[in-house]
Amino acid sequence: MHTPERRTIAKDALRLIQDLQNRTLDDIIILHEDLCTVVFSTVSAYSVWFVLHWFTYGAGVVLSVIYLSKEFLYGNRTLNLVYLCLFFVFHLYLFLLPCLFAARITSCCTGIYEDINCTTSVDWSEGHPFKDRRNLTMFVSYAKKRRCGFKIGRITFSSASAWVSVFLGLLGLLFSFF
């Protein structure tokens, strides 16, 4: 069974860039800027929620760890172990899901210039600005510096930052138990 490819605005932008004929590098940059405008305007509505989520999540974890540490010392061991396992699964789910979705948005946007960078002049038709490798290199340089994706302030949320956050969160939890 063939699974249909998921259409995203990033894939549409890549398709539009590939289909350009007899245009300039500036026309490609305008297409990319249109993508970034859509992404930033969509994400800006969620950035406040994302920050509030992190603060409330952090406060919830601290309070839960305090409660768990007291219950674990004085309560039923088996019930506390089950509760502790559910606590970690539930909190990792709440912790990871927003991070992974934010990182996925950035990944889709960076995928455009990564895909374009992996091409040669043979991959582009006559009249396309990327037939000249210098234009392609200038576009990739521009796109990297533009950092289109899930941003909060000046910080672009990527998969690396998601995994660093997970590591620091787990390290903090381990530190509180030992």
Average pLDDT over residues 58-87: 70
pLDDT on residue 159:
61
HSE-CB of 28 using CA atoms within 13 angstroms: 26
pLDDT on residue 59:
76
Residue 177's contacts (CB-CB under 8 Å, 6 or more residues apart) are 65, 69
> Angle at Cα 137 formed by Cα 136 and Cα 140, nearest 5°?
85
- Token pair 């038709």 in the structure block, residue: 125
103-112 tens-digit pLDDT:
788 888 888 8
**pLDDT confidence bin for 158, thresholds 50/70/90:** low
pLDDT on residue 3:
41
Cα-flanking dihedrals φ and ψ of residue 156, to 5°?
Answer: -90, 125
pLDDT of 1 strictly over 60: no
Residues 169, 96: Cα–Cα separation, whole Å: 10
Average pLDDT over residues 134-156: 84
Q: What is the mean pLDDT of the chain?
A: 78
pLDDT on residue 118:
92
Q: Where are the alpha helices (DSSP H) in the chain?
A: 9-19, 25-74, 77-117, 133-146, 159-177
Residues 159, 176: Cα–Cα separation, whole Å: 26
pLDDT of 131 strictly over 50: yes
- Token pair 């590939």 in the structure block, residue: 18
Q: For the full predicted model, state whether its pTM sits above 0.85.
A: no
**pLDDT confidence bin for 128, thresholds 50/70/90:** very high
Nearest in space to 28 (alpha carbons), one of 19, 40, 38, 37: 19
Of the chain, the percentage scoring pLDDT greater than 90 comes to 22
